[in-house]
Structure 1
Amino acid sequence: MVDIRKVPTIQDVARHAKVSTATVSRALSTPGRVSEGTRARISEAIRATGYTLNQTARSLRQRTARTILVALPDIRNPFFSSILDAVEREASGRGYGVLVVNLYLGRETACRLQDYMLSNRADGLLLLDGSLDLETLRAMTMAPHSVPLVVACEEIPDAGFHTVLTDNARAAERATRHLLDLGHRKIGHLLGPEHNIVSRDRLAGFAAALEQAGLAPTPQWLFRGNFEMESGFSAAARFMSLSDRPTALFAANDESAIGFLSGLRQHGLQCPRDISIVGFDDLGVAPHYSPPLTTMRQPRETLGRMAAETLLDVIENGADGRETLRIVLNSELIVRESTAHPPQPVPAR
């Protein structure tokens, strides 16, 4: 004999928990909108009834994908790992999957983003790159498509998109002031990509700290880079070619700082004996490098969680009348062994 059992439904869960089906639905899709006690009763009712959410059927009924798309400039960059982890955790907790797109194809990738969003394969876009064509993004976010969009990590000025980022200019100013407080007056800067807004903000913070100390950036101490380790390694060779060298350097990110340190080591220089170095990001390798790297710690997990939370709120609650959010998180100076007082001049014999 075949044992045919009735598949438990959301109505069964609601009856067992003594709540409405709408409350059960809210608890499953947006648990933050349901009290902890009610969520506990619903969780117990789900276990007791054996109810399993059929996400595919639900998505078909609601004509949603229950998926968000995350677009980032370089998936190889370890900076994004903890951000993506936080995004996935927040999305999963609210019943959403995550798709990741690498933006290395430039404008072609922007067209791919349009294909994803306008074919209903994702319900919203979390963009971790401020360099995409603004008109392409506006075309997606305006009627009739009205794709929910949140920009994180990098800002797109005057675009009017919800944005979650860190205090790049102020953090760079604090990093440079740390070197000034140690007594350095000859301070260089290893820049990021020339047209990147994060690079520009960190350069602006560097220059502001120098100006407050009555100094100005020295052009030959501004080393071009692109946030990659290899660019820091190359900058070390340019540093060695100078007849008058800075005693300290603020690097636009940790990867380039580590590349610079590696390059100096090949030339026989030691940090911080010969030069002090501050990075930016506090990557996982920063405290374990030799020497451990002084750096600005970005709250990457918080950034990822808040960006995902903002996007999911827009997806679920709509954007009508919603004020455009601009959330700026503070970075923290982490002092380690790569910074010290400037070397004392050797007295003449």
Structure 2
Amino acid sequence: MPGPGPTIADIARAAEVSTATVSHALNGTGRLGEGTRRRVRETAASLGYGVRRGPRTRTLGIAVTTYAGSAWDYAGVAYFSRLLTAATSAAHARGYALTTLPADRGAEPLWHTLAVDGMLLLDSPDGDAVLRALRARGLPVVFDGRPAAPLPGDVWVDNDHAATTAAVLDHLAASGARRIALHAGYGREHYTGAVTAAHARWCAERGRPALVVPFDPEDAAGHAFDAAFAAPGRPDAVYCVYDPGGRQVLAAAARHGIRTPGDLLLVCASEDPAYGSHEPAVTTVTLHPERIAVTAVSALVTLIESGQAESPGQYTVPTGLRVRASSLPPDMY
């Protein structure tokens, strides 16, 4: 039988701090410098503190780590809401519970001590502190979205973002667009980088300028578009990478007297059904989060129960383009 594992006293000796400092660092309490808190937690992880040493809990964890440390409600975003619901059902069907971790900094101690058999990480960015803690504990991990630096044996479920971006831009061009702006550039996860690179490549291949308008989740009025919409040669189409982007573009266009779709074509990557009932109805890209969730849960359970991935690398889920009035020429809607 395995031993009981390291104690707080063991961690204190290894980190050369007091046991009180270790307790504060692991529980997110006390007035510690961020460097000390991080060093203690990394020492604890390296010693195997919090590693499961008994029978399986039959519990999976799930977290969105793109902006880990920020108190944002990812469950309120249509994509993540639908994925969480499907992942819960898929976990229950395999006999596992599913624990959803909050994104705010107060949840950080959980990353080191959470009693789960494995974790689903969504949109893991470069330098992901959550992933670092999980790897140190030896917990199985499956990713939604390609991790920044995958290791041999890693498994991730994703869409083909390059092909999807090219298909969206081809659709807008076929509807008459000549200068297509990309509304992106906020996250550090693979999705944002892949779409931005695909947009730049598509524009370069056709000798067109690659205009990227920065996304800000707090910019409900779409002020990021003010300069572009007021300038000569303004964009005649926009592809929004994030769910709120379509609403921001429509708000900015209305303020500038730009008609959609008469003057401006629009496509938004979103799972929000409200886009379909908007006037005009907005063309959306679905990433099929339910399929991603079921595939990811199945891969994680296999990894937990067999000790190895059935097929390491990417499991690709196709996307879908739901064409509506916002991306069609006037004579087609």
Q: TM-score range by the shorter chain?
A: 0.7 to 0.9
Cα distance between partner residues in 2 of 1:229 and 1:294: 23
**Which one of the candidate residues 158, 161, 166 is aligned to 2:159?**
166
Matched ranges for 1:185-264 at <5 A: 185-193=178-186, 195-217=188-210, 221-226=211-216, 228=217, 230=219, 233-264=222-253
Q: Which residue of 2 aligns with 1:9?
A: none
1:79 aligned residue: 79
Tell me by how many angstroms 1:85 deviates. 1.1
What's the offset of the Cα at 1:249? Answer: 1.2
Q: 2:260 & 2:171 partners in 1: Cα distance?
A: 16
Question: After the TM superposition, which of the residue ranges 196-205 and 231-240 deviates more from structure 2?
Answer: 231-240
State the Cα distance separating 1:159 from its structure 2 match.
Answer: 3.4
Offset at residue 167 of structure 1 (A): 1.3
Q: For the residues of structure 2 that align with 1:254 and 1:135, how far apart are their CA atoms? A: 25
Q: Is the 8 A contact 2:260 2:280 kept in 1?
A: yes
| Structure 2 counterpart of 1:273, one-letter code | G
| Shift in CA distance, 135/186, structure 1 to aligned 2, threshold 3 Å | closer
Contact (CA 8 Å) 2:83, 2:293: kept in 1 or not? Answer: yes
Q: Is the 8 A contact 1:225 1:231 kept in 2?
A: no
The answer (yes or no) to whether the contact 1:177–1:209 under 8 Å persists in 2 is no
Q: TM-score scaled to structure 2, two decimals?
A: 0.73
Which of 306, 323, 326 matches 1:335?
Answer: 323
Partner of 1:40: none
Distance 1:104 1:323 in 2: 33
C-alpha separation in 2, matches of 1:194 and 1:65: 33
Counterpart secondary structure, 1:95: coil
Q: Amino acid of the residue matched to residue 133 of structure 1?
A: G
Structure 1-normalised TM-score?
0.70
Map residues 292-303 of structure 1 onto 2, 5 A cutoff.
292-303=281-292
Cα displacement (A) at 1:282: 3.5
Residue 11 of structure 2 corresponds to none
In structure 1, distance between residues paired with 2:289 and 2:134? 27
Gapped regions of structure 2 (runs ≥ 5) = 1-53, 66-73
Which one-letter code corresponds to 1:183 in the other structure?
G
- Mark the runs of 5 or more structure 1 residues left unpaired by the alignment: 1-61, 344-349
Cα deviation, 1:75-134, whole Å, max 9, x if unaligned, reads 3322101111111111111111111012233xx655431221xxxx21110001312635
The answer on whether the counterparts of 2:120 and 2:142 sit within 8 Å (CA) in structure 1 is yes
Give the match for residue 4 of structure 2. none
Matched ranges for 1:39-188 at <5 A: 63-73=55-65, 74-105=74-105, 109-116=107-114, 121-131=115-125, 133-134=127-128, 137-138=131-132, 140-141=134-135, 145-160=137-152, 161-188=154-181
Give the superposed CA RMSD: 2.7
**Identity percentage over the alignment?**
22
Q: Across the two proteins, how many residue pairs are aligned to each other?
A: 271
Alpha-carbon deviations, 1:165-209, whole Å to 9, x = none?
111122111111111122221221111415332111111121222
